Every structure is written in C-alpha cells, then in structure tokens.
Amino acid sequence: MPEPAATLASVRVDRPADGVVVLHVSGELDTSSADELARPLKEHLVEGVRGVVVDLGGVRFLGSAGLESLVVGNQRASSLGVSLVLVATSRATLRPIQATGLDSVFTVVESLDDALGRF
C-alpha cells in the first residue's frame, strides 16, 4: 500500500517580485492530485499579475490530468494577458509535455532563473 504523502502533489507559493508568482510543484500530478495544481493556478492567474511560473522541478510523475491543469491554466493566462512559464528539466515532466506536443504551446525553460528573467 503506497504512502498517501508519497502519491499526492503539493504546491508552495512564492512571490519573488511584484506581480510575479512562482508555484513550486512536487509529487505526482495524476487524476487524484491534479486539483492541487489547478486550484493555485486559478487563484493566482488574475488581473494585475504579470507572470506565473510553474516550477515542476519536484514532480515525479506528470499524467494527463496534470497536463490538463496546465493547459487550462495556460488558456486562462492567455485570456488575461498573463505570461505563464513552466520550469521543466526532468524526464518525468519533459517527456509527457513533448510527447503530447505541448512543448509548442507552453513556454518551457530549464531553470527558475531563466523563468524569472522573463519578467
């Protein structure tokens, strides 16, 4: 039986600059945990925010429900004129993004510094 903490995703929020929000995501983004990302994305993708960075550095698994949360977040960001940037370097996050062709939809960078340098 897997440990519940090991299978859930969590998100820590930072505000490194005025109008910039970083969501540090860890764990597994699957059907049972994708809302852990969807909720803070919806909460922080609002007017007055210049950019939202989703740091996927701590994600061990990115399933279709997690990708859907990112797509919905990207659509919301676009409609509000907010920049959404993903930080993804591991095979666990890059492979699903690339395999679905979403690397042509998202702005994906290799480090948090690269992401923050865009704002």
Q: What is the pLDDT of residues 35-63, one digit of tens each?
A: 999 999 999 999 999 999 999 999 999 99
User: At residue 2, does pLDDT exceed 50?
Assistant: no
Measured from the Cβ of residue 104, the count of other Cβ atoms closer than 10 Å reads 9
d(CA 41, CA 65): 14
The predicted model scores a pTM of 0.92
Nearest 5 degrees, angle CA 33-CA 53-CA 93?
A: 50
User: At residue 7, does pLDDT exceed 90?
Assistant: no
Q: Which two tokens stand for residue 62?
A: 């990115």
**Mean pLDDT in the chain?**
94
Q: What pLDDT sits at residue 8?
A: 87
Q: Are 43 and 59 in contact (CB under 8 A)?
A: no
User: At residue 100, does pLDDT exceed 60?
Assistant: yes
Q: What percent of the chain stands above pLDDT 90? A: 93
Q: Are 25 and 59 in contact (CB under 8 A)?
A: yes
d(CA 98, CA 60): 16
- Identify the burial level of 6 via C-beta atoms within 10 angstroms of its C-beta, where 0-12 means exposed, 13-18 middle and 19 or more buried: exposed
User: At residue 79, does pLDDT exceed 50?
Assistant: yes
